[in-house]
Structure 1
Amino acid sequence: MASSDQPPIKLTKRVVDALAPTDKDRVIFDAELPGFGLKITPSGRKVFLVQYRYPPGRTGRIRRYTIGAYGESLTPDQARNIAVQVKGKLAHGIDPVTQRELLHAEAARAAQEKKRTMAITVEAIATTFVARHAKPRLRSWREYERMLRDYVLPDWGSRPITEIQRSDVATLLDAIEERRSAALADHVLAVIRKLFNWHAARDERFHSPLVKGMTRTSHTARARDRVLSDAEIRALWQSLQQIPYPFGPFVQLLLLTAQRRDEVAHMRWREIDRDLWTIPRERYKNGRANTVPLTEEVQSILAALPRSGEYVFSTIGRTPISGFSKAKAGIDRTSGVTGWRLHDLRRTARSLMSRAGISGEIAERVLGHTIPGVAGIYDRHDYVLEKRDALQKLAAEITRIVA
């Protein structure tokens, strides 16, 4: 304990400023308030304190309650007022040091609990889910991320995931159904279910509140069957011919190649080798590379496109195109064809191939669908010639309809 050989002196600002450090800690006590003092370290640091015995009396243990360091935020008068409060606690049988330790321990526990709670908020869990599960395993991870960001996190983000009840889910889905559609509510529910199941597999304390029967539409109603008619294809194609790069030719390629929206949107020039476009496995839905033969019609469209970067379709040259909803709305206005979505072009192309006499197996291979059964496991033929024939017949069917 620091030396206190110097006799008490009233601790004022002038006195405290004049006190110089020595080669060891020393304490100067106040002449007016017993126990109130100032410790000076060899480095020159000056700290106000209260020294007392607890329990009171000669047999009590000497304890020191640190008030704080002398400076602009703590003057001698302010420190003396705090010392009076400390001594008041002693008069009521309270040990100030023990009380402070208990308060610090409680604050530490509260901070730890807050940290634990923050770690299990829906936003924290969703961020980890996207990074550790969706992004490495799901080609559609961006859609999961968007659904969570747009529809789930605004209401639930700051809440612990353990607090989400079945009624919260119902309320959220009700709002989405009223503002948008029942189909979108079911889509969001599917993402929430995936998130909850993933977290439940990692934390035994969490039990998903979801149950069967929470969907808003039947399986049959959710299955889309929209196929554009010949008249709609004709009107759409004529409109697309007038819509400039990138969206006009982009939608044309969706129909001519029968590939998914994002596969065409992320198409890179380096993936094209003469009349073959190879979509790498890391960005194909079934995890396998898919080779798409390019018909003369597709090659003609590609030859007319600008090359401003690595992406075939881009608005700024550095990233693939986006803003599909806005572009689609413009196409609807121009063509007069409504009530469809870009994915319906893929179903339309599949139907046109069947009309053109293409076998179901070859048409499915063009679409990149996994072939079930033994054929899907053991048949490693690339079917490039067969797919080229199918896409040529698809292009001829589209040409016939447009003409």
Structure 2
Amino acid sequence: MPRQNAPLADIQVNKAKKKEKDYKLSDGGGLHLLVTKTGGKLWRMQYRFDGKQKMLSFGAYPAISLADARQRREDARKLLANGQDPAAVKKAVQEAAVVAAASTFAIVAGEWFQKRKPEWVDSHAVSVKGRLDNYILPAFGSKPIVEVTAADVRTMLLKIEARGTIEAAKRVKVICGQVFRYAAAHDLIQHDPSAALKPSELFRKVEKRHFAAVTDPKELAPLLRSIEGYTGSIETRCALRLLPMLLMRPGELRHLEWSEIDREAGQINIPAEKMKMRTAHTVPLCKQALAILEEIRPLTGHGKYVFPSTRSAERPISDNTLNACFRRMGYDSDTVTAHGFRATARTILDEVLGFRPDIIEHQLAHAVKDPNGRAYNRTAFIDDRRKMMQQWSDYLDSLKAGAKVIPISKAA
């Protein structure tokens, strides 16, 4: 009958000394402590699998205690009982850990962004990149994507909501879901953990409103004077002064590039990929707008954007810059928004200055169709629109100068 070794004791393991050669102290069940001639103490387990003698390493003492080593031995024996090779399972776990470490949310999000970017207009790509950099990556970008939970996403979204930006939180959630689904498609995770977070249940209810706008000329006049007297950076001041004139969406104005400005023709040519309706658009430039652009040209004309960010010339001013200026002027979001100037122009051009609604709508880059149901091209009514844009800017100048204001009701 083979001799049975007594199990090891903690004191025996602790006091084991090095010798001239490596030696083993057996604990039974294949587990032993290898004491090296240099004084190292290593836990090993010998076992047979598929007819072959194999060795499994558990780590070094004292980092791995006797109790820890015995637990690992039992775990290995369970695998053997289920027909699995403990060494192969250990290797697979280690490889998965390496993959997970190399697949952080930030890395996966970066891959997703680069693949999707060619499909987007520049303004949308900048917006997505900003939300990744400002909200998502600081929250859990360094975590392996497989470890990011619904709770991680929920915590981040509620912090965004707490700042009063529910729409931003919703857009951030959409980005998270797209990155998670990309990871699932590449077998990095099993499912999208953010899918369970329903906006209707997660965020507080808010009343949907149109963009706040000043449509009464009497109220518009002091607002224009406030804009004229604003004392921010020249990029911001010029953008603010152009905002009421050009009828452009704030995003189109912010992302305006010098290459899109035709000085000789006196107009801005915005390519289709940058427009909301994916149709190229022409904005006639009045003399006042041309003068403002010449004012800022010496400062930013050597770069890409007319209104670059103060942090990086490779990006335009942020989407909150213009609205923040109005808050500093004392106008709250229920009174004035950057986007609201389009409604301002639409109302006054129609009801005070008497321009045809279809010409106004075309200048606003809305989906205007001809009598045959076809969309007008970008140069349709260009002469009428050029005249309208100059008259509109002259009217704004008269309001700033304190001209007599005709109430909308009488004009109508």
Q: Report the TM-score, using the length of structure 1 for normalisation.
A: 0.64
- Cα displacement (A) at 1:293: 0.7
1:362 pairs with one of 346, 354, 359? 359
Give the Cα–Cα distance (whole angstroms) in 2 for the partners of residues 315 and 151 of structure 1: 19
2:330 pairs with one of 329, 336, 341? 336
Give the Cα–Cα distance (whole angstroms) in 2 for the partners of residues 375 and 125 of structure 1: 48
Q: For structure 1, list consecutive stretches of 5 or more residues without a partner in the other structure.
A: 1-30, 37-48, 51-66, 68-76
Aligned to 2:139: 155
- Cα displacement (A) at 1:267: 2.8
Give the Cα–Cα distance (whole angstroms) in 1 for the partners of residues 146 and 370 of structure 2: 40
Give the Cα–Cα distance (whole angstroms) in 2 for the partners of residues 240 and 337 of structure 1: 11
Give the Cα–Cα distance (whole angstroms) in 1 for the partners of residues 199 and 370 of structure 2: 30
Distance 1:372 1:131, change over 3 A: farther
Structure with larger RCO (C-alpha < 8 A, sep 6+): 2
CA contact (8 A) 2:154 2:197 kept: no
- Cα displacement (A) at 1:256: 0.7
Q: How many percent of aligned residue pairs carry the same amino acid? A: 20
Q: For structure 2, list consecutive stretches of 5 or more residues without a partner in the other structure.
A: 1-18, 25-33, 59-84, 402-412
In the TM superposition, what whole-angstrom CA distance separates every residue of 1:324-368 from its partner, at most 9, and x where no partner exists? 6567545543x4333233222333333333333344433332222
Aligned to 2:307: 313
2:245 pairs with one of 256, 267, 270? 256
Give the 3-state SS of the residue equivalent to 2:337 in structure 1.
coil
Distance 1:378 1:258, change over 3 A: closer
1:99 partnered with 2:56: yes
1:267 partnered with 2:252: no
Aligned to 1:388: 386
CA contact (8 A) 2:243 2:250 kept: yes
Aligned to 1:398: 396
Give the 3-state SS of the residue equivalent to 2:169 in structure 1.
helix
CA contact (8 A) 1:183 1:222 kept: no
CA contact (8 A) 1:162 1:206 kept: no
Structure with the greater alpha carbon radius of gyration: 1
RMSD of aligned alpha carbons:
4.4
CA contact (8 A) 2:369 2:375 kept: no
Aligned to 2:278: 287
Aligned to 1:136: 119
Give the 3-state SS of the residue equivalent to 1:246 in structure 2.
helix
Aligned to 1:230: 217
CA contact (8 A) 2:251 2:319 kept: no
Give the Cα–Cα distance (whole angstroms) in 1 for the partners of residues 164 and 226 of structure 2: 28
Give the Cα–Cα distance (whole angstroms) in 2 for the partners of residues 374 and 131 of structure 1: 42
- Cα displacement (A) at 1:372: 7.2
CA contact (8 A) 1:271 1:277 kept: yes
1:322 partnered with 2:317: yes
- Cα displacement (A) at 1:133: 1.7
1:126 partnered with 2:109: yes
- Cα displacement (A) at 1:215: 6.3
Matched to 2:234, the amino acid is Y
Distance 1:32 1:266, change over 3 A: closer
Compare 167-176 and 129-138 and name the one that shifted more.
Answer: 167-176
In the TM superposition, what whole-angstrom CA distance separates every residue of 1:259-303 from its partner, at most 9, and x where no partner exists? 133432333333222211112334333333321111122123223
CA contact (8 A) 2:370 2:376 kept: no
In the TM superposition, what whole-angstrom CA distance separates every residue of 1:23-72 from its partner, at most 9, and x where no partner exists? xxxxxxxx965xx6xxxxxxxxxxxx99xxxxxxxxxxxxxxxx9xxxxx
Distance 1:89 1:299, change over 3 A: closer
Give the Cα–Cα distance (whole angstroms) in 2 for the partners of residues 374 and 125 of structure 1: 49
Matched to 1:300, the amino acid is A
Matched to 1:382, the amino acid is T
1:110 partnered with 2:99: no
- Cα displacement (A) at 1:223: 3.7
Matched to 1:348, the amino acid is T
- Cα displacement (A) at 1:120: 5.6
Give the 3-state SS of the residue equivalent to 2:298 in structure 1.
coil
Q: Report the TM-score, using the length of structure 2 for normalisation.
A: 0.63
In the TM superposition, what whole-angstrom CA distance separates every residue of 1:142-170 from its partner, at most 9, and x where no partner exists? 222222333333334315358533x6555
